[in-house]
Structure 1
């Protein structure tokens, strides 16, 4: 099985690091022209250079724009008018008790985690339809199904991703455009590494060991009993946007290590 995305342009939002960067790297390795996105010019330039070093000969561009805001989405669209593949990856997270979560926090999470994908899908899908080929992915989370008691505001947005993606898939019926959600579980991103830094320094364990202990304690239903790598998440994304996945649409595809305890 060979995945060839030559001739395709892919936009990956929030891709200067973590899962987003690994997705961008995987798409570049498959031959796609990749557009890196982040909020600051410095982080975008750094990621573009890193991707070119990781994938020699890759066609990579960068756009600094805060797509968590309508204005940022407009900047991205104006700079990159067309895309064959749109990965709605940008997102924020963080624990906070429900009774201490203000309206402003709820609104911010909704704008960044949900409306960024809504706005960009609205902008780029018509072009995909006109070309009779396209792929849109919403990066959701296992928290969309296992709503965390300490991050209800986050889980809510990730469930919303599933709803939007499923509805859009139906709206795109017969057009040659597919829309899917990807649901990662605990993943060894930079954000998780930062969160576990204190425990690493205290115990002297490796990041992988600390993350595995975290998964076993906080996600005991995990079947793989460890955190996934960002590359493992990216692998599923790259397949799902490829021509090989032409019959997969409207799906919520899990790469959660079996955390969600269901067979459906």
Structure 2
């Protein structure tokens, strides 16, 4: 299968590292011109420079904006009013006992993980609908289906994101614009490595051993039995952004290593 996204404009939020950066790399390798969005100009510039050294087919641009806020979203929309492919990847997570999750914690989780995607999708979907082509993706999580007791607010925010994805797919029915959510499982990103490093230090084991312990204790149903790589998640995202995936919409697509105990 030859995926060709030449002449397509793509936008990836939270693209300075991790899954977002891997998706940006995959889209640009397929020919899309990709805009990386993040709030730290230094990290953005570093990420963009790293991608440019790979001589990818598509061009790489950056926009510094904190799209977890309405103001930051507006700043982005002014600088990039149109895109063909929108990857709502920005997200945060934190392990907090339920009874210690404050109202502010809940509001921040929803503002970052959900409302950023609402605001950007509300704007960009209109243009896609008018042009009769577009791809919108919401990077959710297996935690949306398997709400983790150690971070209920995160799981709820991702479950809400999947509801948003399905609802928007219905709004755009028959338009040529597809809308899907992507559900990664534990993925070896910068943030995950940092978390595993902290846990490993507390238990006197290596990071690789901690990953195995984490899966055994927190995700025992994993069939992959290891952390995925960011590129493995990005591969699915690139396909879903392609012309070949034109009949896939309104779906929750899992790349979580078989953690979710379901055959559908």
Query: Shared fold by TM > 0.5?
Result: yes
- How far does the alpha carbon of each residue in 1:66-102 deviate from its partner, in whole angstroms, 9 at most, with x for none? 0000001001111111000000000000011111111
Partner of 1:257: 257
How far residue 208 of structure 1 moved from its aligned partner, in angstroms, is 4.4
Rounded Cα–Cα distance in structure 1 between residues aligned with 2:245 and 2:211: 32
Rounded Cα–Cα distance in structure 2 between residues aligned with 1:58 and 1:251: 27
CA RMSD of aligned residues (A): 1.4
Partner of 1:174: 174
- How far does the alpha carbon of each residue in 1:234-259 deviate from its partner, in whole angstroms, 9 at most, with x for none? 00000001000000000000000000
Rounded Cα–Cα distance in structure 1 between residues aligned with 2:181 and 2:7: 23
Q: How does 1:181-260 map to 2 (within 5 A)?
A: 181-198=181-198, 205=206, 207-260=207-260
User: Does the 8 A contact of 1:68 with 1:112 survive in 2?
Assistant: yes
Partner of 1:150: 150
How far residue 51 of structure 1 moved from its aligned partner, in angstroms, is 1.1
TM-score normalized with structure 1 length: 0.96
Give 4+ residue runs of structure 1 displaced > 3 Å after superposition.
Answer: 55-58, 198-205, 207-210
Rounded Cα–Cα distance in structure 2 between residues aligned with 1:199 and 1:100: 20
Partner of 1:162: 162
- SS of the counterpart of 1:151? helix
TM-score normalized with structure 2 length: 0.96
**Within the alignment, does 1:94 sit opposite 2:70 as a pair?**
no
Residue segments in structure 2 that go unaligned for 5+ positions in a row: none
How far residue 199 of structure 1 moved from its aligned partner, in angstroms, is 5.3
Partner of 2:116: 116
- How far does the alpha carbon of each residue in 1:203-256 deviate from its partner, in whole angstroms, 9 at most, with x for none? 674x54532332122100000111100000000000001000000000000000
- How far does the alpha carbon of each residue in 1:16-72 deviate from its partner, in whole angstroms, 9 at most, with x for none? 000000000000100000000111211111111111113445400000100000001
